[in-house]
Amino acid sequence: MPDGISFPPVNVAGILSAIPAAATTMPPSVTDSGAVGSMTPYARSDHTHASKARKQRITGVSTAVYTWVYPTAFATGVVPICNGIAEDPSANAADSYNVQIEGVPTNTQCTFRIKRQSSGLLLTLLGAISLNPTPGNINLHCLALEP
């Protein structure tokens, strides 16, 4: 050392142990309102967060009851909030569709009942009856959200 200056020995192992390590578990899912973390491991640049939503567009649905199996199941015991919307791909779509949930959704699937209201109605003494109550060839937009 020049001019008799000396430095204390460096504890390299101590310095290295103080540096946070990369996380080894999947990051938590996205939340509706964020939270400040308190863990010391840092996130790797290629990490992803699990989604709280499952979504899918099912083409060619032509049945009155359709069971949608989510692309990825929710955790056991989670009952998601589900929604289904009918899309009539025909150029001159005159019919209306009612999509409702049948039964209680589970963490793996949701069953939708699809009812077609035809533009051609048969009038009776009891009211109007749709001539084509079963769905045509529709697309079903499905959405399930973790509560």
Q: What is the pLDDT of residues 36-89, one digit of tens each?
A: 878 777 787 788 887 899 999 999 999 899 999 999 999 999 999 999 999 998
How far does the chain reach from its first CA to its final CA, in angstroms? Answer: 66
pTM of the predicted model over 0.75? no
In a domain, 124, yes or no: yes
In a domain, 111, yes or no: yes
Give the residue with greater pLDDT, 18 vs 32.
18
Q: For the sheet containing 81-87, what is the strand order?
A: 53-61, 138-145, 81-87
In a domain, 35, yes or no: no
Domain range for 112: 53-145
What mean pLDDT comes out for the span 125-135? Answer: 56
| Distance, C-alpha 135 to centroid of its chain | 25
In a domain, 76, yes or no: yes
**What's the pLDDT band for 94 if we cut at 50, 70, 90?**
confident
Question: Residue 1: what pLDDT?
Answer: 53
Number of domains in the chain: 1
In a domain, 85, yes or no: yes
At 13 the three-state DSSP class reads helix
Query: What would the pLDDT profile of 14-29 be if each residue is shown by its tens digit?
Result: 888 888 888 888 777 7
